[in-house]
């Protein structure tokens, strides 16, 4: 039997079909699903395009193409279709990130045209929890950052990003896009920190969020305060907010070589359920 396949930009009328695909894997798809929940399929509001891969006219897989290229429930055939479209369009993203297998497939097809990458993180364990830890008390000093505290939180955010990614988020456009994203999280009540003597010593954010799942990101402890257990008690505090106010499942992903962080996350109750991959340009 012949199967007709195609890859194209989703139309506004296909919003329900896109949501159905995203809901297949609510934890892994939290980033794209959260964007679609707020912006629908309008590229301007979405911050990128949402491509669909169709088999016999039925939407089977998605790919978000914005600052990141993110495969969603992408079959091997869909990966090939998305890679071809991405090659034709040229690289506009700063990273490819998503579930490890389809992301690896995308990169293998795009590397001849887009490579070399600045860094490839082939396995980043995806971890989840649905409850608070039994033996780690949430830090009572961890609180939401207020809208008038951007000057307080930004240096910590920049330090975390630079340490994690290897380049400053202030490069290029002077940090305008990054500052806007931090402001969005602060304004939404999803930026948390412990502040001592006017200094942020621990911080984390609840980034992508849907009614099904949310994702903690940007977990960071100031270097001079490491070794005090602040990451565990601080994360427990953020987890309490997340489970109580945002979603019943909380996830994060971490570099496989960061054994200290992985151990801390396990102590707070996170368990590995899969793996992501990131290709950084």
Same domain, 266 and 151: yes
Q: How far apart are CA 92 and CA 247, in angstroms?
A: 32
Give the pLDDT of residue 173.
Answer: 81
How does pLDDT run across 244-270, given as a tens digit for each residue? 999 999 999 999 999 999 999 999 999
Query: Domain boundary residue among 101, 116, 131?
Result: 116
Identify whether 126 is part of a domain.
Answer: no
HSE-CB of 35 using CA atoms within 13 angstroms: 23
Give the pLDDT of residue 4.
Answer: 78
How does pLDDT run across 219-242, given as a tens digit for each residue? 999 999 999 999 999 999 999 999
Same domain, 85 and 43: yes
Identify whether 124 is part of a domain.
Answer: no
Identify whether 134 is part of a domain.
Answer: no
Same domain, 37 and 154: no
Give the pLDDT of residue 3.
Answer: 63
Query: Domain boundary residue among 82, 116, 150?
Result: 116
Asked if the model's pLDDT at residue 171 lies above 90, the reply is: no
Structure tokens at 263: 């151990």
Strand partners, 68: 95
How does pLDDT run across 145-168, given as a tens digit for each residue? 999 999 999 999 999 999 998 899
CATH code for the domain of 178? 3.40.630.30
Same domain, 234 and 152: yes
Same domain, 148 and 268: yes
Same domain, 156 and 263: yes
Average pLDDT along the chain = 95
Give the pLDDT of residue 7.
Answer: 95
Same domain, 179 and 233: yes
Cα dihedral sign, 17-21-23-27: negative
Q: How many domains does the chain have?
A: 2
Identify whether 242 is part of a domain.
Answer: yes
Give the pLDDT of residue 5.
Answer: 83
Identify whether 261 is part of a domain.
Answer: yes
- Element (DSSP H or E) covering residue 98: strand 95-99
Q: How far apart are CA 248 and CA 210, in angstroms?
A: 10
How does pLDDT run across 73-97, given as a tens digit for each residue? 999 999 999 999 999 999 999 999 9
CATH code for the domain of 60? 3.40.630
Identify whether 147 is part of a domain.
Answer: yes
Asked if the model's pLDDT at residue 172 lies above 80, the reply is: no
Same domain, 80 and 163: no
- Element (DSSP H or E) covering residue 270: none
Asked if the model's pLDDT at residue 1 lies above 60, the reply is: no
Same domain, 161 and 198: yes
Give the pLDDT of residue 179.
Answer: 93
Asked if the model's pLDDT at residue 192 lies above 60, the reply is: yes
**157, exposed or middle or buried, with CB in 10 Å at 0-12, 13-18, 19+?**
buried
Determine the 3-state secondary structure of 228 from DSSP: coil
Give the pLDDT of residue 2.
Answer: 54
Angle at the Cα of 210 from the Cα atoms of 209 and 211, rounded to 5 degrees: 130
Q: How far apart are CA 231 and CA 154, in angstroms?
A: 19
Q: How far apart are CA 60 and CA 46, in angstroms?
A: 20
The reported pTM is 0.93
- List the alpha helices (DSSP H) in 48-145: 76-89, 100-114
Residue (of 86, 79, 20, 13) closest to 49 by Cα position: 86
- Element (DSSP H or E) covering residue 214: strand 214-221
Identify whether 93 is part of a domain.
Answer: yes
Same domain, 100 and 59: yes
Domain that holds residue 42: 5-116
Query: Domain boundary residue among 64, 99, 116?
Result: 116
Same domain, 85 and 32: yes
Same domain, 270 and 194: yes
Identify whether 35 is part of a domain.
Answer: yes
């Amino acid at each position: 039997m012949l199967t007709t396949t195609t890859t194209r930009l989703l139309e506004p009328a296909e919003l329900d079909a896109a949501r159905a695909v995203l809901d297949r894997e609510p934890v892994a798809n939290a980033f794209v699903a959260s964007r679609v929940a707020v912006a629908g399929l309008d590229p301007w509001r979405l911050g990128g395009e949402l491509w669909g891969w169709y088999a016999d006219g039925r939407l089977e897989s998605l790919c978000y193409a914005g600052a990141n290229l993110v495969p969603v429930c992408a079959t091997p055939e869909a990966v090939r279709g998305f890679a071809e479209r991405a090659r034709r369009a040229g690289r506009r993203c700063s990273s490819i990130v998503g579930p490890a297998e389809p992301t690896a497939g995308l990169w293998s097809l795009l590397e001849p045209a887009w490579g070399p990458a600045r860094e490839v993180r082939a396995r980043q364990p995806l971890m989840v929890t649905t409850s608070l830890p039994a033996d780690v008390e949430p830090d009572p000093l961890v609180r939401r950052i207020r809208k008038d505290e951007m000057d307080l939180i930004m240096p910590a955010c920049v330090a975390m990003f630079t340490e994690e990614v290897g380049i400053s988020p202030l490069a290029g456009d002077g940090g305008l896009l990054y500052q806007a994203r931090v402001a969005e999280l602060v304004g939404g009540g999803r930026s948390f920190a412990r502040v001592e003597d006017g200094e942020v010593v621990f911080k984390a954010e609840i980034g992508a969020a849907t009614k099904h799942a949310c994702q903690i990101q940007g977990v960071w402890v100031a270097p001079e305060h490491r070794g005090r257990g602040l990451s565990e008690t601080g994360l427990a505090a953020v987890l309490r907010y997340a489970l109580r106010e945002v979603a019943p499942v909380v996830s994060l992903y971490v570099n496989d070589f960061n054994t200290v962080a992985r151990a801390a996350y396990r102590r707070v109750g996170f368990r590995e359920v899969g793996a992501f991959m990131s290709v950084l340009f």
